[in-house]
Structure 1
Amino acid sequence: MKVFLTGATGFVGKGVLDRLIAEGYDTVCLSRPGRADSKGKLLPEVTGPGSVTEVAGDILDAESLKTAMAGCDAVIHLVGIIREQPGKGITFSRIHVDGTRNVLEAAKLHGVKRFVHMSALGSRENATSQYHLTKYKAEQLVKASGIPYVIFQPSVIFGPGDEFVNMLADLVRMPVTPVLGNGSYLLQPVARKTVADVFVQALNHREATNQTYETGGPAPVSYEQILDTIGEVLGKQKVRKIHIPLAFMKPVINAMEGFSFFPITNTQLTMLLEGNACRDAERLYDTFSTEKIAFRPGISTYLS
């Protein structure tokens, strides 16, 4: 089977690509033409019977996808953004909705038999955030395409080289760690290895056809518990926290979110406060053969 992979150079994409190679898939990786930071990023970190081919194209360029996808039997679509850059034309609607539509149209043109799609936990029709709303709209496009699909909705993903845990580790290393609000909001961090396992298995898993799976770790944990766990792994006896009232923080975010160096946007704050835990995490593990990786042992393998 030849697999067309979008987002191969991203954090999740690297894990999925390694798994594809190890399992013997011939993988065609989409790479934006002229992208200066892509050189060498498609080199898998594992050896295996699979192969990697890089093709030029862009999910916002429908014609390039029609050429790049020729000969592929399945698609794994990972591309997404967590932060908009409207000045560069990078918005949730363009990337999540228009981009997915373009990939689906190319897949239909070439008779692709399987479409494995990365959505996000919390995606829903009445979502408060544009991130979750556009992810939901993309899901509807996938379901209406007529192509047999599998949709995954991951919570926050952790693993070597992640932004989430490493950013929080930097905060935990400070004498005092800021916490927005009360810190009780729940997340269900899932290991990149788990995500890579289920995405690749979904290519040939009949039971998973036309199904959507919440994708989280074994159990939900609060934001404060995440900080404390990171502190334990780093060898801190206690993570000293200062709780910042939302009434104070929201005006600051309003003024600063347009600057790329500022670590949080209103959209991200909204999603954080509403929580991101699975309603039924066991369904994923009942369907796919993958290890349940708890948060602390998972981050202990790479955080120091």
Structure 2
Amino acid sequence: MNEPKKIVITGASGFVAKNIRKFLSLNHYKLISIARNNFKKYKNEEKIILEKYDDPSLLNKIKNVDVLIHLVGTGKQSVDSDFESINVGLTKHFVNLSKKTKIKKFIYFSGLGVSSTTPLGYFISKYKAEILIQNSGLNYTIFRPSYIIGKDDLFTKYLKKQIQNSSIEIPGSGKFLIQPIHINDVEQIVLESILEKKFDNQIFDLVGPEKISFKDYVRLFSKNSDVLVKKINLEDAFHRAIHTSSSEFGVDDLNLLLGGFTGNHEKLKEISGIKFQSILGLLKAC
């Protein structure tokens, strides 16, 4: 597509959104960024804080926009916030807004491991959201991200907190694989998906070039500290997750970790043409 006039980003206060917004701002794109929580405003950016994303005033505020990047989602459920209402309902809402305002491109972050046969509630909600987008008639790109690593990402913050408490807990064997990708690579890929037709109406695993077990990642991350790395029984981990809201691992976190989900990096590498950051290289260097 041609250079976009404006780009809307939902979930603007989150880690991924914050970095994408900063990157696009530095590259002189005009942004309309939307969140329910306050956030730092960047150059070329219009900031919108809403109590609810379905605020009817939003329709007029996102007219004359070319691209919508939908980053609102939840990985945990509560009585006030469930997968169906957030991951499916809000996606449907922004798909409808995009159609009404004639937005040219819809970019969505789903989840690595999403499929039509998944039994997990989180993945089911993300799959439903993907189908809504694919059936919308909009030009779309769907990304299924693994752990996205960078300054202040949730995974890194979790490990740092564990180090401060002098021990890092690994549920079960820790042999399950992860395939993290660096936020700088994600920024580049998102921009390419906005500009390049080869990304149109496709789904990509948003994964890095290396697969690593959770226990090996933790050991590399903590190698320069005196922290104790210890395994915890899976039954104990799930019991704590079910009964303790303050548990480091939620039930869905454990399900996603134990699933050992990895993806097709070669497809992403071939279409993007970028040189990906080695997460293992970063861990070994730090």
Give the TM-score normalised by structure 1. 0.86
- RMSD value over aligned CA atoms? 2.1
SS in 1 for 2:56: helix
Displacement of 1:297 in angstroms is 3.9
Q: How does 1:129-148 map to 2 (within 5 A)?
A: 129-148=120-139
Cα distance in 2 between the residues matched to 1:246 and 1:187: 18
Amino acid across the alignment from 2:56: E
Match of 2:25 among 21, 27, 32: 21
Displacement of 1:175 in angstroms is 4.7
8 A contact 2:70–2:107 mirrored in 1 = yes
The equivalent residue for 2:67 is 74
Judging changes above 3 Å, is the alpha-carbon distance between structure 1 residues 103 and 58 closer, same or farther for their aligned structure 2 residues?
Answer: farther
Match of 2:150 among 128, 140, 159: 159
Does residue 1:61 correspond to 2:51, yes or no? Answer: no
Judging changes above 3 Å, is the alpha-carbon distance between structure 1 residues 72 and 164 closer, same or farther for their aligned structure 2 residues?
Answer: same
The equivalent residue for 1:47 is none
Judging changes above 3 Å, is the alpha-carbon distance between structure 1 residues 229 and 173 closer, same or farther for their aligned structure 2 residues?
Answer: farther
The equivalent residue for 1:196 is 187
Cα distance in 1 between the residues matched to 2:51 and 2:96: 13
C-alpha distance after superposition, 1:205-244 (max 9, x if no partner): 1111001110111111000111111023xx147x643222
Cα distance in 1 between the residues matched to 2:142 and 2:124: 15
Judging changes above 3 Å, is the alpha-carbon distance between structure 1 residues 176 and 18 closer, same or farther for their aligned structure 2 residues?
Answer: closer
Displacement of 1:173 in angstroms is 5.4
Cα distance in 2 between the residues matched to 1:128 and 1:169: 32
8 A contact 2:210–2:280 mirrored in 1 = no
The equivalent residue for 1:269 is 254
SS in 1 for 2:195: coil
Displacement of 1:174 in angstroms is 5.0
Judging changes above 3 Å, is the alpha-carbon distance between structure 1 residues 172 and 99 closer, same or farther for their aligned structure 2 residues?
Answer: same
**Could you tell me the percent identity over the aligned residues?**
24
The equivalent residue for 2:7 is 3
Structure 1: state its 5+ residue gaps: 45-49
Amino acid across the alignment from 2:6: K
Displacement of 1:70 in angstroms is 1.4
8 A contact 1:185–1:274 mirrored in 2 = yes
SS in 2 for 1:140: helix
Give the TM-score normalised by structure 2. 0.91
Does residue 1:248 correspond to 2:239, yes or no? Answer: no
8 A contact 2:139–2:200 mirrored in 1 = yes
Displacement of 1:128 in angstroms is 2.7
Judging changes above 3 Å, is the alpha-carbon distance between structure 1 residues 58 and 137 closer, same or farther for their aligned structure 2 residues?
Answer: farther
SS in 1 for 2:114: coil
4+ residue segments displaced more than 4 Å: 172-176
Displacement of 1:255 in angstroms is 1.4
8 A contact 1:180–1:246 mirrored in 2 = yes
